[in-house]
Amino acid sequence: MLVFLLPLWAGAQDITIQALFKDKAILLIDGARRVLKSGEASPEGVKLLSADTQEEKAVIEINGKRETLKLGVVVASFKATGRSSATLYPDRGGHFFADGIINGVLVHFLVDTGATVVAMNSQVANRLGLDYRKNGRPGVANTAGGYVRTYNLRLNTVQVGDVVLHDVAGSVTEGASPSEVLLGMSFLGQLDMKREGDKMELSER
């Protein structure tokens, strides 16, 4: 993750670019995550001028001064083949995280090839507006804390980078576990996954 320290006169001081999409960027501004479209400004006064997924950079403006930020966590790109893709970089612990979208709402994924589906806790499901008790198929899972109720359901859309899949299998576990939204094989299994060095590339087949 790359952090850029801007002059103290700027409304925002610490800015991290977390993800790039077409005409959109996710920025961490003084610890607050902001999703900005080109031309939009954050409450901190950071305006996104452009997002370039090819060169992996975003141009922002603060108090009339332009700054160019390079991407260091998630790269969203569109290949010449026409296949959408996303390139992920690991954190210091070697885990791959990705900012993405479920049913139009921003979420933070932990890539987990050991998870069968896109899994989340009930708190996240409520934030997403999922009526999992009504629309989900109930079940039970055995966890370290004992047996908990789960619900299997279908997610309308799941997006990472420019990759958008529809009608993806998901599950909701009542309580606070898992702490991260797990990007499981119901999504990953429909993509080509390639590791090169310390990065992982996901692309449409």
Shared domain for 57 and 96, answered yes or no, is: no
Q: What is the mean pLDDT of residues 86-92?
A: 83
Q: What is the mean pLDDT of residues 168-194?
A: 95
Residue found by looking up tokens 């959109």 in the block: 24
pLDDT tens, residue by residue, 130-168: 999 999 999 998 877 788 999 999 999 999 887 899 999
pLDDT over 80 at 190, yes or no: yes
Shared domain for 26 and 7, answered yes or no, is: yes
Which residues in the chain belong to E strands, given as ranges?
3-5, 14-21, 24-29, 32-37, 46-52, 57-62, 65-70, 74-78, 84-88, 97-102, 105-111, 118-121, 137-143, 146-160, 163-173, 181-183, 191-196, 199-204
pLDDT over 50 at 8, yes or no: no
Among residues of the chain, what percentage have pLDDT more than 90?
A: 40
For 96, the domain range is 79-204
CA nearest 97: which of 165, 199, 28, 178?
A: 199
Q: Predicted confidence band at 72 (pLDDT cuts at 50, 70, 90)?
A: low
Asked which of 30, 56, 72 is the last residue of a domain, the reply is 72
Shared domain for 55 and 87, answered yes or no, is: no
Total domain count, the chain = 2
Q: Predicted confidence band at 178 (pLDDT cuts at 50, 70, 90)?
A: very high
pLDDT over 80 at 7, yes or no: no
Shared domain for 185 and 133, answered yes or no, is: yes
pLDDT tens, residue by residue, 14-52: 777 777 787 888 887 776 788 898 999 988 888 999 988
Q: Predicted confidence band at 13 (pLDDT cuts at 50, 70, 90)?
A: low
Q: Predicted confidence band at 71 (pLDDT cuts at 50, 70, 90)?
A: low
Shared domain for 131 and 61, answered yes or no, is: no
Q: Predicted confidence band at 1 (pLDDT cuts at 50, 70, 90)?
A: very low
CATH of the domain at 96: 2.40.70.10
Shared domain for 67 and 126, answered yes or no, is: no
Q: What residue type is 204 in one-letter code?
A: E
Shared domain for 101 and 192, answered yes or no, is: yes
Q: What tokens appear for 191 in the block?
A: 């993509």
pLDDT over 80 at 74, yes or no: no
CA nearest 81: which of 180, 162, 176?
A: 162
pLDDT over 70 at 4, yes or no: no
Asked which of 26, 45, 72 is the last residue of a domain, the reply is 72
Shared domain for 40 and 131, answered yes or no, is: no
CATH of the domain at 53: 2.30.30
Residue found by looking up tokens 């791959």 in the block: 96
> CA-to-CA distance for 198 and 47, rounded, in angstroms?
31
Q: What is the mean pLDDT of residues 167-180?
A: 94
Assessment of whether the complete model's pTM goes beyond 0.75:
no
**3-state secondary structure string, 99-135?**
EEEECCEEEEEEECCCCCCEEEEHHHHHHHCCCHHHH
Per-residue DSSP letter, 11: S
Specify the pLDDT at position 88.
Answer: 85
Shared domain for 34 and 86, answered yes or no, is: no
Shared domain for 128 and 189, answered yes or no, is: yes
Shared domain for 136 and 192, answered yes or no, is: yes
Shared domain for 134 and 200, answered yes or no, is: yes
> Which residues neighbour 42 within 8 Å (Cβ) at sequence distance 6 or greater?
12, 27, 29, 32, 34, 36
